[in-house]
Amino acid sequence: MKIVHSISELRAQLRGQLRTAFVPTMGNLHEGHLSLMRLAANHGDPVVASIFVNRLQFGPNEDFDKYPRTLDDDITKLEKEGVYVLFAPDEREMYPVPQDYRISPPQDLGDILEGEFRPGFFIGVTTVVMKLFQCVQPQVSVFGKKDYQQLMIIRRMCSQFSIPTEIIPAETIRESDGLAMSSRNRYLSTDERLEAVWLSKTLHQVADRIRQGQASTRITVDDVVEIESAAKQILNHRGWRTDYISVRRRSDLKAPQAQDLAEPNQLVVLAASRCGATRLIDNLEI
């Protein structure tokens, strides 16, 4: 595996490649990330990964400084997956001058759910992804469904800017008990790790209630609001601090209307909640 730290080295290494597949990450790689590498290899060659902890997507009170950085371990894992190039720039390489030019998603998509509770987060995400795409110029790029809203925003950014990169969605990889794999899971204590499975359990309960209502053809928009509220109470009564549990349309992440509830496979339930001090996110398509 070639390890490069500058944009010029990266471009030289990839010159002449016609079907580059790209997986951007912030490192601290786990099986979820590695599954993205394997999916990328099915859609392109060579596979390029990046590791860059992007300051722009962290809020002032978030965990940028303590975000786990495990480059040596990550390199070993990527080599085993047959990744061709790892692009691991530092901040001076990515942002040699202040990044005054930013990409702003539309408010009706970027300022809801995660965007409501993490103001500016998606501006940081889209800006760094746009910059990485300009560096790598991939034909395909893989993003996980665990970050459902991010996946939708990146897809729309590529469409509206005519970026010639196909975005490939990857299913969420879970632990044996159902917890979605995340780099932040390492912040959980032993007891919190046992408790953390309740996030995915609660999402399944929401999905089951929605499906039961759809099967009876009696579910209403008010019913959905009640189901969301009950799910939030379940977690909060267990000591969680929940930002949102929300049923949305898969197509645009807007709240469902009556006609959306009448059709199967149109919805997704998304959640963000804190187990102890660790904020976890997850979602489940319905």
Active-site annotation, residues: 33
HEC-encoded secondary structure of the chain: CEEECCHHHHHHHHCCCCECEEEEECCCCCHHHHHHHHHHHHHCECEEEEECCCHHHCCCCCCCCCCCCCHHHHHHHHHHCCCCEEECCCHHHHCCCCCCCCCCCCHHHHCCCHHHHCCCHHHHHHHHHHHHHHHHCCCEEEEECCCHHHHHHHHHHHHHCCCCCEEEEECCCECCCCCECCHHHHHCCHHHHHHHCHHHHHHHHHHHHHHHHHHHCCCCHHHHHHHHHHHHHHHHHCCCEEEEEEEEECCCCCCCCHHHHCCCCCEEEEEEEEECCEEEEEEEEC
